[in-house]
């Protein structure tokens, strides 16, 4: 018995808020749950995350990005995701392989089959049972972001982020049974209810709840 849920979306979509909200809801209902994130989630992963997002000394190639994200991911699988799934917990991850396909393939232009192959190698084939996509128009998402320093990906132009959004929607179209696509312009409360309706049914199916 295990359940793996991932949250995806572009900048300002609210995915992190909703991942945390679901984690809190599951804890309140006494469901064993763990919340983690990418890139990061381990000591090594956090170092890689800082390098990927905030390095100012070197230009990282698209292939370099792909390999760094998956180095972080492989460590997260080894230390966090796989052991917690094996112990029967619900694991929630803020970003996962679909981010890499969207950002490094649709966004950067890397071959999609190469990206998927490296993702699958890093994850040992562990795939989400449910992926929640918080879909929002790019410019509206950026308008929500607080005025602060932007990381390497947030500094990319609108066209880059439009390609990422298109990538996410294409992935969801390919596998509609796994994806829950949500209009991220809805109220937070309404979005939480939509997610809970979907997740609670999965929990019942897996025997976590009656």
- Domain of 74, CATH number, reads 3.40.50.300
Q: What's the total number of domains in the chain? A: 1
H helices present in 77-187, as ranges: 82-86, 97-100, 112-123, 138-144, 158-174
pLDDT tens-digit readout, 187-200 = 999 999 999 999 99
Whole-prediction pTM: 0.95
pLDDT at 17: 97
| pLDDT at residue 151 is higher than 90 | no
- The Cα-based distances of 149 to 97, 129, 135 in angstroms read 26, 35, 23
> Are 191 and 182 a contacting pair, CB within 8 Å?
yes
CA 203 to chain CA mean position, Å? 20
Which residues span the domain enclosing 124? 3-206
pLDDT band at 146 (very low <50, low <70, confident <90, very high): confident
pLDDT tens-digit readout, 72-86 = 999 999 999 999 999
pLDDT tens-digit readout, 104-140 = 999 999 999 999 999 999 999 999 999 999 999 999 9
Report the distance separating Cα 168 and Cα 143, nearest Å.
Answer: 20
Report the distance separating Cα 134 and Cα 65, nearest Å.
Answer: 23
State residue 128 phi and psi, 5-degree precision. -70, 150
Q: Give the angle 165-169-173 at the CA atoms, nearest 5°.
A: 170
């Amino acid at each position: 018995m295990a359940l793996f849920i991932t949250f995806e979306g572009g900048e300002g979509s609210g995915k992190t808020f909703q991942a945390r909200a679901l984690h809190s809801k599951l804890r309140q209902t006494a469901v064993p749950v763990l919340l983690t994130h990418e890139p990061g989630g381990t000591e090594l992963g956090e170092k890689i995350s800082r390098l990927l997002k905030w390095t100012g000394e070197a230009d990282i190639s698209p292939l370099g990005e792909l390999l760094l994200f998956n180095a972080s991911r492989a460590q997260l699988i080894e230390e966090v995701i796989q052991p917690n799934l094996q112990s029967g917990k619900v694991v929630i991850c803020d970003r996962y392989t679909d981010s890499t396909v969207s950002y490094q393939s649709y966004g950067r232009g890397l071959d999609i089959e190469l990206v998927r192959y490296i993702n699958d190698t890093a994850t040992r084939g562990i795939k989400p049972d449910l992926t929640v996509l918080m879909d929002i128009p790019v410019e509206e998402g950026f308008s929500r972001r607080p005025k602060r320093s932007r990381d390497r990906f947030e500094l990319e132009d609108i066209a880059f982020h439009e390609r990422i959004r298109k990538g996410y929607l294409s992935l969801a179209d390919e596998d509609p049974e796994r994806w829950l696509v949500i209009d991220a312009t809805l109220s937070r409360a309404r979005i939480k209810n939509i997610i809970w309706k979907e997740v609670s049914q999965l929990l019942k199916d897996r025997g976590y709840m009656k």
